[in-house]
Each structure stands twice: as C-alpha cells, then as structure tokens.
C-alpha cells in the first residue's frame, strides 16, 4: 500500500514504484498522467486491472474540515497507525464515503492498496463479429469474469470511434484506417498469472472462448525479444496518450496532448451505469448515434466491466471550442443524451459540471440528510459551493 497526498500524480507514483522494483503497481488509466491519484480515487475513478476500483481500495483518511477540525478515519483514529496501514475497517461506522464526490472536507492524505505485479501478463484484443456478434459475445465475456479468468475491471469494450480517438496524434494513420472500416465493437482484456504455465493455459482458454465470437483475436505480452518487461499498462504505466481523444474536434492536432483548455478542446463526458447486456449496449449506442448527428461533433463510446452484472460507460463528445456552431451542437447533444439516459433508467456513476443541473432530484429525505451532514461538517458552506447541485 502507499500513503498519498493530493499532489501525488500518476507519473510521480509510477516513477517511485519503479525505483522500488515494481513489485506492486497502481492500475493504469486513460487520463492525463499529471492528474492527482488521490483526486481520481476520491472521484471514484478507475484503472484497468484487478485493483481498478480505486475508491474501494482507499482507506485511513486524514481530513481537514471547514470547521478547522482535523478528522482521521481508520484504526489511526485511536492512535493505532501500524494496524491502520494493513487493515481498512475498524469497528464502528465507515464514513470515508462522505468525502467521495462531495464537498464535505478536504482529504489531506489516505492509504491506497497497490496491485501485486505478477510476473506474467498479457493484453488480449478481440474484434467482435458484426450482426448478432455482440449478443453472442456478452455471455462469453461475462463468463470470463464469473469463472475468475479475468478480474471485472480488466475488461473494456469500445466502439470503433473510441478506439480510433485514443490512437490520434502519434498513431493518427492507424486511427484513420480504423475509422474507414464499418463501425465495430472491440474488447480489450488484461490477464495476469504468477507462473508461465498458468499464463499459457489462461491465454489458451480465453482465446478459445473469444474466437467463437470474434473476427480476430490478438494477444500481446509485455516482454521484448530478450524477455525484458516493457513499461506498459500491464504493469501500471499510463502513457497519457489517450488524452489525445480530447483533440478529436480540432483541425490541427499536436503529436502529443498539451493543455486541452488553452488548446480550446471541447470535451465532455457522460458516465451512465448500464446492465451488462447486449440490448443495453446497443440501446446506448443508438441514443448516442441519434443525438450526435452534427458533423461538428465526434462521439465515442467505451465501457468498463465493474462486475459480470454492470458496465460503467464513458460516452464522450469532442468538438472545437473555436467553432461557436460546434459548441452549440455539443451542449444541445449533451442535454438530449442526458435526458434519454434518464428516461431509460441509466443512472450516472460520475457527474461532470454540465450534469449537475440535469441530474434527477433525489428524495426529500436524501436531500435533507445530506444538507444536515453538510451543515455539520461545513456550517458556513465554504467548500466548493454548488458541487452537489445546491
Ligand atoms: C481523455 C481523458 C481520459 C480519461 N480517462 C480516465 C480513466 O480511464 N479513468 C478515470 O478514472 N478517469 C479518467 N479521466 C478523468 C480524469 O483523468 C480524472 O478525473 C482526473 O484523475 C482528475 O484529476 P485532477 O487531478 O484534475 O482532479 P480534480 O479535477 O482536481 O479533482 C477531481 C474532483 O475530486 C475532488 N477532490 C480532489 N482532490 C480532493 C481532496 N484532496 N479532497 C477532497 N476532494 C477532492 C474534487 O471534488 C474534484 O472535483 C480521463 C480524462 C480525460 C480527459
């Protein structure tokens, strides 16, 4: 485990873990590498791999409250810092959740569990067959999770636009050729093993399952020709290149991502949870296609398995903020998609700034309890007013 403060970035943590010999890593993600690990975990962000649920693995918070008080959770609240490093849940209520996606306090530091870096790993990419391919692929993918062959957070599904958008910049040619093909679903999986025989068998079983529902299955390990491990997402190295997807709407794109804000990249997410069913995936795709018809918008869809039951989806719209027409199209597409997701019962698991106004109103009891908690922890409403929609 590692104790982190707000200024620890993905890049700096990875450099430190490399120095320590890489026995453990933080699952890689698609965001910018200079983002804060603690902020991402408090936002309930996700990495790819068995330990991808960052907030689920975060404990022993040291919190600054706006009252001037300093609140410690975990066993450390009774001074037992040694056991607090090893065990997350002392007797009594668990209140860490209050500080996630909220404005109740500033977390000064917390402990996060790292994933043991097993000596063998592979990434498997499958192109799902067209027509009824997705319907046949979903039970196979779910079975890979329930059987324990892959961890839920190790499976990501992409539409071809999402796949292409992450290839922009350095890999622009591959992105163009992917977009020229008919629209298609792809799945990426990571598998890990402590022994080469187990890795080989795992790969064989996954391959045998996937070829039934795929046009093409590609397996890649993370070693070079002489057997040295390379720095890939399999050992927690995020390269930040996926941030290029934010440049999709721009006519002139850099080779590597810069500052998306000053580069005037329009980019917005919607993050609904959907059942892990082919009909819901197709429904979500239909909503996105119908509501993002504008030629000024670049829409993409990705989703990460959270369990064999539910998918966390990332619906993204990219546009050029220097084009006022594109800006108007993006805001209206965002509002329409949001409305339709709500009507389908696809509830969000993360909210962006644009989502706050459109979010469904919770019950009165929920709102009143939340207000009482806010008043108790931040009586003058100093921290991030409006962060939770009021
Ligand atoms: C192209 C792209 C791809 C992305 N891919 C992924 C992905 O694969 N997985 C993923 O999870 N995210 C992804 N993201 C989202 C993004 O990387 C995260 O939201 C990011 O980690 C937030 O970083 P930040 O340092 O800017 O945090 P901030 O924006 O500063 O913080 C996020 C929120 O956390 C809260 N917060 C921050 N620090 C504290 C604190 N100390 N105490 C209390 N609350 C706090 C605040 O409410 C704040 O609103 C992606 C983003 C982009 C642009």
> What pTM, to 2 d.p., does this model score?
0.94
| 112 CA from centroid of ligand 1 (Å) | 16
Question: What CATH architecture is 2-45+52-113?
Answer: 2-Layer Sandwich (3.30)
Atom number, ligand 1, closest to the C-alpha of residue 384: 47
Q: What is the DSSP string of 257-318?
A: ---TTTTTEEEEEEEEEEES-HHHHHHHHHHHHHHT--TT-EEEEEEEESSSSEEEEEEEEE
| 278 CA from centroid of ligand 1 (Å) | 29
Provide the 8-state DSSP code for 240. -
Residue 103 three-state SS? coil
Among 32, 41, 73, the mutation site with the greatest number of ligand 1 atoms within 8 A of its Cβ is 32
Q: Is the CB of 115 under 6 A from ligand 1?
A: no
Residue 354 three-state SS? helix
Q: Is the CB of 165 under 6 A from ligand 1?
A: no
Q: Phi/psi class of residue 124: alpha, beta or left (left: φ > 0; alpha: ψ in -120 to 50)?
A: beta
| Nearest by Cα to 240 from 31, 48, 45, 8 | 31
Sorted by where each begins, the domain ranges of the chain are 2-45+52-113, 120-353
The span from the CA of 193 to the CA of 179, in Å, is 34
Per-residue pLDDT of the chain (390 residues; tens, 9 = 90+): 999 999 999 999 999 999 999 899 999 999 999 999 999 999 999 999 999 999 999 999 999 999 999 999 999 999 999 999 999 999 999 999 999 999 999 999 999 999 999 999 999 999 999 888 999 999 999 999 999 999 999 999 998 887 777 665 555 666 666 666 667 899 999 999 999 999 999 999 999 999 999 999 999 999 999 999 999 999 999 988 888 888 888 888 888 888 999 999 999 999 999 999 999 999 999 999 999 999 999 999 999 999 999 999 999 999 999 999 999 999 999 999 999 999 999 999 999 888 888 888 899 999 999 999 999 999 999 999 988 766
The span from the CA of 88 to the CA of 76, in Å, is 10
Question: What CATH architecture is 120-353?
Answer: 3-Layer(aba) Sandwich (3.40)
Output the six-digit token pair for 83. 């056991």
The stretches of the chain forming alpha helices (DSSP H) are 10-19, 37-42, 81-86, 133-146, 160-165, 172-180, 196-211, 278-291, 324-344, 364-377
């Amino acid at each position: 485990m590692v104790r982190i403060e707000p200024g620890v970035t993905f890049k700096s943590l990875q450099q430190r873990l490399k120095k320590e010999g890489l026995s453990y890593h933080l699952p890689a993600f698609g965001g910018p590498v200079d983002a804060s690990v603690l902020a991402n975990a408090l936002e309930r962000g996700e990495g790819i791999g068995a330990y991808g649920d960052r907030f689920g693995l975060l404990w022993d918070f040291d919190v600054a409250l706006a009252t001037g008080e300093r609140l410690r959770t975990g066993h450390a609240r009774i001074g037992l810092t040694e056991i607090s490093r090893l065990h997350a849940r002392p007797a009594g209520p668990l209140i860490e959740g209050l500080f996630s996606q909220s404005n109740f306090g500033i977390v000064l530091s917390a402990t996060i569990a790292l994933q043991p870096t097993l000596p063998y790993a592979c990434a498997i990419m499958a192109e799902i067959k067209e027509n009824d391919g997705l319907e046949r692929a979903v039970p196979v993918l779910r079975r890979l999770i329930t059987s324990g062959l892959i961890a839920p957070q190790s499976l990501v599904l992409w539409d071809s636009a999402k796949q292409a958008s992450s290839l922009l910049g350095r890999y622009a040619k591959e992105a163009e050729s992917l977009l020229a093909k008919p629209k298609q679903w792809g799945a990426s999986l990571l598998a890990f093993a402590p022994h080469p025989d187990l890795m080989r068998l795992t790969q064989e079983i996954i391959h045998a399952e996937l070829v039934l529902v795929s046009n093409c299955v590609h397996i890649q390990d993370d070693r070079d020709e002489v057997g040295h491990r390379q720095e890939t997402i399999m050992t927690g190295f995020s390269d930040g290149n996926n941030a290029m997807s934010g440049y999709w709407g721009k006519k002139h794109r850099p080779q590597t991502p810069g500052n998306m804000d000053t580069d005037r990249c329009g980019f917005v997410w919607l993050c609904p949870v959907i059942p892990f069913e082919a009909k819901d995936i197709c429904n979500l795709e239909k909503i996105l296609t119908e509501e993002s018809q504008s030629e000024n918008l670049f829409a993409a869809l990705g989703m990460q398995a959270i369990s064999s039951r539910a998918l966390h989806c990332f619906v993204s719209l990219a546009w050029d903020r220097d084009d006022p027409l594109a800006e108007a199209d993006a805001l209206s597409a965002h509002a329409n998609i949001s409305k339709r997701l709500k009507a389908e019962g696809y509830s969000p698991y993360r909210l962006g700034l644009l989502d706050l106004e459109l979010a469904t109103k919770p019950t009165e009891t929920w709102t009143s309890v939340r207000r009482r908690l806010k008043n108790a922890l931040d009586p003058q409403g100093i921290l991030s007013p409006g962060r939770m929609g009021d």
